[in-house]
């Protein structure tokens, strides 16, 4: 009988422009996460996975030492913006297989010392234009042309997520905004404006996952990993993007995750989706089965993605409001779902939430993780 | 019931100074490995783990695309010189947990464009002297002082491994040498001379691991992963090294791996150990339980680590003879054990080998993987 896998603790740093190195951020989030698991000692942590796109080598052993851990299994895992989702999936595998009993997943990234996010310079199918905003704009235009999605609907995503972020003390941005502000923000590549984008952020976030048996000793409110779905459809933009209104990797990952969790999209109470740009969240509604194809714009407009709607999406502020420190993003998404399922999400709490879904993308959505978390008590 | 995990194919490039990028090397080894699994299609590979210390991001998706794979799970894994051992352990976890059915583990490194291996500049406990040869020399001197190990015994490791490499077409070095040549080689840091060291090498190596059920469809000679033991005792040299004649991470990892495989050291027929320097192999004999403490020098001198001895060690040539492309090393070690257990190891074949052990280290042995492979037919 395979062990079920629970999340028993989470912790994080404030995201944003931080006067701190990746080492400082890792220590801060690691300490916060370990303190969140009151009945678990450092000796219990037998696995450490550091999710990051940082180029430094051997940093998992370094992180182990500064946190006072001596794990059996420890390594760095990188899958660009989906590093967090991949690391949680890997921790699940270690525990479910029986090799491990308790894993600390720590996502960390120092970004604001760079001018822009890492780019895939080798991908000539992008026409030599590698910044992610270019594909964001292509998808937004195509979705508008095909389904009548409006710039105002895109702006509503930004408004919703900034407003959620305003009550999250860990978020990069902490002020409510309105549609006029989004529409008037700096035009970058039409229809994408500054407030349609997630920012470069520094930050770190941690999760502790354990076997079901160990979880029972540590917490009264374990949250189980119910579904794990992942897909890599390729790496080059030209090879994985055809219709420009859907991401096959999301559809494939979601199918596997729903099947494993034995749930349907309509049953999800709360979700964290990868809103690198506002259009991403609209397409995610559709690819994940929350909204019908082409109706993502209406979905946000009708308030169906708000607390009290069909599914509350990005209640910590999403990447747009909370920030996007690459390796930390997926881990922070999962942390928010855990808080929601434990009833600890504060002002943005979804009453009685039982099922949470996270959706983490990489590189023009050529890779996707869809994880489903479940509260049972 | 958890699935057992089998290795069904292996493949590699020649190691050495190669006029090839890491991309070329990954493609060459990936193709060779996939061709080794005749009844497995590319669609069957649902997991891709790229083990490397290369700083490039999102390379697992790139490798998937150039090899024609569309895996569910794909990421880069880095744990310095133990990246290969960590990646195989992780593939085991994915398959054993049921998340995956067939994983390609690909270790790759381009090294010869650098002047030296990656160093841990942040480790001030090394006294500001970060090249690995410094700790190699400290261990060698201490072992000689405490146990009477001789420079000639160190040289015998190099002779044995170069001679094994001479019949391995994939090895970096391909000429037999004698003790006089080792003793006369360039003095670096006493007692370590040039021929006591593994070289900087380019290279890549792959393994395909599958569930037991899938293995039965693919090969008549599956090799099972019987034991997985890993340990990270720290990162800084000063914190993990006390006695200078043993590596606690090896002892801990070996204990777990033997227990999981339910075997004892004396039962191992063939082993690949991490001979970054000649002294490493002597200490490995002792830490792994092949030789008594302090008797590692005699162990090689008496021929007990040769084919026909107690346990044939480093029959592909080890890191000293075959080369040390960081991320590829552990994968190549496992590949050699698979060849031995399948009776395909050519001139250095150990007759009737049933149990193989691999020992992969990182960074002054602060991290160690000990994996045990078993043939059952």
Per-residue pLDDT reduced to its tens digit, B110-147: 998 876 667 777 777 776 667 788 889 999 999 999 99
In angstroms, the Cα distances linking A207 to A64, A88, A358, B233 are 15, 8, 14, 22
CB B105 within 8 A of CB B9: no
- Residues B9, B208 contacting (CB under 8 angstroms): yes
Residue found under tokens 């191992």: B268
Higher pLDDT, B116 or B269: B269
Give helix then strand counts, H and E, for chain A: 13, 12
Q: Specify the length of chain B in residues.
A: 377
Give the model's pLDDT for residue B116.
66
Picking from A70, A80, A86, the nearest residue to B232 by CB comes out as: A70
Smallest Cα distance from B47 to chain A, Å:
9
**Min distance A91 CA to chain B CA atoms (Å):** 9
Angle at A344 between CA A357 and CA A20, to 5 degrees: 85
Average pLDDT over residues B91-118: 91
A233 touching chain B per CB within 8 A:
yes
**Phi, psi angles (nearest 5°) of residue A335:** -60, -40
Give me the pLDDT at residue B239, please. 75
Nearest to A296 by CA among A282, A284, A309, A308: A282
Contacts of A70 in chain B (CB under 8 A): 231-234
Residue of B50, B93, B234, B365 for testing the chain A interface, max A β-carbons within 10 Å = B93
**Closest C-alpha among A97, A261, A4 to residue B98:** A97
Structure tokens that stand for B324 in this block: 């040390």
The answer to whether A57 contacts B65, with C-beta atoms less than 8 Å apart, is: no
Using CA of residue A230, residue A234, residue A240, residue A245, what is the dihedral sign? positive
Q: Chain A residues with CB inside 8 Å of B88's CB?
A: none
Beta partners for A371? A228, A358
Two tokens, residue A236: 């080059």
- CB-nearest to B86 from A75, A229, A232 is A75
pLDDT of residue B115: 67
Min Cα–Cα distance to chain B from A97, Å: 4
- Please check whether residue A284 touches B, CB under 8 A: no
Give the DSSP per-residue string, A191-253: TEEGGGBPPB-BEEEEEEEEEHHHHHHH-SS-EEEEEEEEEE--SSHHHH-SSSS--HHHHHH
**Mean pLDDT (whole number) for B171-187:** 98
Active site residues of A: 81, 324
Q: Is B74 on the interface with A (CB under 8 A)?
A: yes
Section B299-323 average pLDDT:
98
Interface with B, mutate which of A78, A118, A368 (most B CBs under 10 A): A78
Taking contacts as CB-CB distances below 8 angstroms, the residues of chain A near B92 are 97, 99
Contact A79 B62 (CB under 8 A): no
Nearest residue to B61 via CA among B52, B49, B43, B45: B49
List per-residue pLDDT tens for chain A, 377 residues long: 467 999 999 999 999 999 999 999 999 999 999 999 988 999 999 999 999 999 999 999 999 999 999 999 999 999 999 999 999 999 999 999 999 999 999 999 999 887 666 777 777 777 666 778 888 999 999 999 999 999 999 999 999 999 999 999 999 999 999 999 999 999 999 999 999 999 999 999 999 999 999 999 999 889 999 999 999 988 887 777 778 899 999 999 999 999 999 999 999 999 999 999 999 999 999 999 999 999 999 999 999 999 999 999 999 999 999 999 999 999 999 999 999 999 999 999 999 999 999 999 998 888 999 999 999 86
User: Taking a C-beta distance cutoff of 8 angstroms, is the pair B279, B273 a contact?
Assistant: no
Which band of pLDDT confidence, cut at 50, 70 and 90, is reported for residue B227? Answer: very high
Q: How far apart are CA B212 and CA B377, in angstroms?
A: 13
> Using CB atoms, which residue from A2, A57, A118 is nearest to B2?
A2
With a CB-CB cutoff of 8 Å, which residues 43-62 of chain A face chain B? 48, 53, 55, 57-58, 60-62
Q: Residue A260: closest CA among chain B residues belongs to which residue?
A: B99
pLDDT of residue B242: 74
> CA B299 to CA B271: how far, in whole Å?
14
Q: Where are the beta strands (DSSP E) in chain A?
A: 5-12, 47-51, 73-78, 102-109, 187-189, 192-193, 203-211, 223-232, 270-272, 312-313, 355-362, 367-375
Q: Which residues of B fall within a CB distance of 8 Å from A122?
A: 62
Residues A106 and A332 sit within 8 Å (Cβ to Cβ): no
Are B72 and A232 spatial neighbours (Cβ–Cβ below 8 Å)? yes
pLDDT at position B1 is: 46
For residues B180 and B115, give the distance between their C-alpha atoms in angstroms, rounded to a whole number: 28
Which of A61, A76, A231 has its CB closest to that of B234? Answer: A61
CA dihedral of residues A213, A218, A220, A226 (deg, nearest 10) = -50
Nearest to A96 by CA among A204, A6, A189: A6
Residue of A nearest to B99 (CA): A93
Rounded to whole angstroms, how far apart are CA atoms A300 and A298?
5
Please check whether residue A340 touches B, CB under 8 A. no
Q: What is the mean pLDDT of residues B243-263?
A: 96
Chain A, 81 to 140: residues with Cβ < 8 Å from chain B are 83, 86, 89-90, 92-94, 96-100, 118, 120, 122
Closest CA to A214 of A356, A41, A330, A30: A41
DSSP state of A176: -
Give pLDDT tens digits for B352-372: 999 999 999 998 888 999 999
Contact across the interface for A79 and B74, Cβ inside 8 Å: yes
* Cα separation, B312 vs A273, whole angstroms: 53
Q: Is B73 on the interface with A (CB under 8 A)?
A: yes
The closest of B241, B246, B262 to B295, measured between CA atoms, is: B246
CB contact under 8 A, A90 and B89: no
Q: Choose from B23, B55, B57 for mutation: most chain A CBs within 10 A.
A: B57
């Amino acid at each position: 009988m395979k062990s079920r896998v629970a999340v028993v603790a989470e912790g994080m740093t404030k995201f944003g422009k931080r006067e701190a190195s990746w080492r400082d951020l890792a220590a801060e989030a690691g300490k916060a996460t370990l303190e969140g698991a009151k009945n678990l000692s450092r000796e219990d942590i037998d696995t450490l996975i550091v999710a990051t796109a940082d180029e430094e080598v051997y940093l998992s052993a370094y992180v182990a030492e500064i946190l006072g851990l001596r794990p059996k299994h420890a390594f760095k895992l990188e899958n660009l913006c989906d590093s967090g989702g991949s690391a949680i999936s890997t921790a699940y595998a270690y525990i479910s297989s029986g090799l491990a009993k308790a894993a600390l997943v720590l996502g960390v990234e120092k970004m604001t010392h760079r001018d822009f996010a890492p780019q895939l310079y080798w991908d000539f199918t992008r026409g030599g234009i590698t910044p992610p905003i270019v594909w964001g704009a292509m998808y937004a235009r195509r979705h508008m042309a095909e389904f009548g999605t409006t710039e105002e609907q895109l702006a509503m995503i930004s408004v919703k997520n900034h407003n959620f972020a305003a009550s999250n003390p860990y978020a990069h941005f902490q002020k409510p905004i309105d549609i006029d502000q989004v529409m008037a923000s700096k035009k970058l590549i039409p229809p994408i404006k500054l407030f349609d984008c997630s920012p470069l952020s520094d930050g770190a976030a941690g999760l502790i996952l354990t076997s079901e048996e160990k979880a029972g000793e540590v917490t009264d409110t374990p949250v189980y990993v119910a579904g794990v779905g992942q897909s890599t459809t390729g790496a080059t933009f030209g090879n994985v993007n055809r219709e420009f209104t859907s991401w096959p990797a999301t559809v494939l990952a979601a199918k596997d995750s729903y099947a494993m969790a034995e749930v349907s999209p309509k049953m999800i109470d709360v979700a964290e989706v990868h809103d690198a740009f506002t259009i991403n969240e609209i397409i995610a509604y559709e690819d994940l089965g929350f909204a019908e194809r082409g109706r993502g714009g209406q979905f946000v407009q009708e308030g169906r993605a708000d607390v009290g709607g069909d599914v509350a999406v990005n209640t910590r502020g999403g990447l747009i409001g909370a920030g996007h420190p690459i390796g930390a993003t997926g881990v922070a998404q999962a942390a928010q779902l855990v808080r929601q399922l434990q009833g600890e999400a504060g002002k943005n709490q979804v009453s009685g939430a039982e099922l949470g879904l996270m959706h983490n993308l990489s590189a023009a959505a050529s890779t996707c993780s869809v994880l489903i978390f479940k509260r049972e008590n």
